[in-house]
Amino acid sequence: MSKTAIIVGASSGIGAALAEELAVRGYRLGLMARREDKLKEVAEGISRRHGVIVLTHPVDVCASADVQPAIMALAEDLGQVDLLIANAGIIAARRSGNGQLEVDRQVIETNLLGAIATIDAGVALFKTQGKGHIVGISSISAFVGIPGSAAYSASKAALTNYLSALRTEVGHQGIRITTIHPGFVATDLAPGMEKYPFVAQPGAVAKEICQAVERGAREAIVPRWPWAAMMPMMRFLPDAVIRRIF
């Protein structure tokens, strides 16, 4: 029987590419995000190209009380859910000292509290099912903070730590947790993403994420080359070099 995945943050970029890649692998899909028109466009294209069932449901992960009911409603329409991917995220550039804390608040609310609301709903669902697999999309900035995006880096470091604690808490209850740390990917996340070093295409990254999920990895850096090799060294690089890289 084919597997089923819910992707939160599936209207563009890595989430839309993951939907496509999972459809290639025969998954039935539930896609969620705020922009319903974009979600429907992604869903119709995938269902036409791959002949799989693709349902959509709008959600704003910052409206935390709405997240669990929305995921449960979609899960009920889909039947048993095997995989929940918490991918929704935003980035914002803000130089420290300008007092625009509202920008940071929005980033933390989406990337950390929104992800926690999504993952918490996933745990509730998978506890009732007795099994399931949660994938959190963090970032390499969880390991090395990006200058100019300190709040973003902090949100991802906290998400990585949250997922690590959760793995220990629920791992023995049939709930698998995978944390993904993408390097730079050419998406709409921020203007000029394609100019960042070693930038990868969303399709290639989605393929590596699916491979990590299928082998049940606890964590994965994607694309593996060159980031997995570089990451252990990054923390020893001088600040001036880090500034140049980012």
Ligand X SMILES: NC(=O)c1ccc[n+]([C@@H]2O[C@H](COP(=O)([O-])OP(=O)(O)OC[C@H]3O[C@@H](n4cnc5c(N)ncnc54)[C@H](OP(=O)(O)O)[C@@H]3O)[C@@H](O)[C@H]2O)c1
Catalytic residue IDs = 152
CB-nearer residue toward ligand X: 31 or 78: 31
Does residue 35 belong to the site contacting ligand X (CB under 6 A)? Answer: yes
Q: Is the dihedral of CA 156, 21, 226, 92 positive or negative?
A: negative
Q: Does 60 bind ligand X (CB under 6 A)?
A: yes
The answer to whether 87 contacts ligand X (rule: CB under 6 A) is: yes
- Using the minimum distance from each CB to ligand X, give the nearer residue, 69 or 97: 69
| Shortest distance in whole angstroms from residue 86 CB to ligand X | 8
| Count of residues near ligand X by CB under 6 A | 30
Q: Does residue 188 touch ligand X according to CB under 6 A?
A: yes
Residue with structure tokens 């694309």?
223
Least distance between ligand X and beta carbon 165 (Å): 19
Dist. CA 243–CA 229, nearest whole Å? 19
Q: The tokens of 56 are what?
A: 């959509």
Question: What's the rounded Cα separation, in Å, for the pair 242 and 246?
Answer: 6
In the complex, the smallest distance separating the C-beta of residue 198 from ligand X, rounded to whole angstroms, is: 10
Burial of residue 216 (number of CB atoms within 10 Å: 0-12, 13-18, 19+): exposed
- 137 is a site residue for ligand X (CB under 6 A): yes
- Minimum CB separation of residue 181 from ligand X in Å reads 7
Part of the chain binding ligand X (CB under 6 A), chosen from 73-81, 87-95, 122-130, 226-234:
87-95
Among 5, 10, 112, 123, binds ligand X (CB under 6 A): 10
Q: C-beta of 112: minimal distance to ligand X in Å?
A: 11
Q: Does 154 bind ligand X (CB under 6 A)?
A: no
165-183: b (≥16 Cβ within 10 Å) or e: ebbeebeeeebbbbbbbbb
Question: Is 230 a binder of ligand X (CB under 6 A)?
Answer: no
Q: Should residue 223 be labelled a site residue for ligand X when binding is judged by CB under 6 A?
A: no
Q: Which residues contact 53 (CB under 8 A, 6 or more apart)?
A: 28, 29, 47, 78
d(CA 39, CA 15): 10
Greatest CA span in the chain, whole angstroms? Answer: 55
Question: For residue 68, which of 141, 5, 6 has the smallest C-alpha distance?
Answer: 6
The binding site for ligand X (CB under 6 A) comprises 9-15, 33-35, 38, 59-62, 87-90, 110, 114, 137, 139, 182, 184-185, 187-189, 193
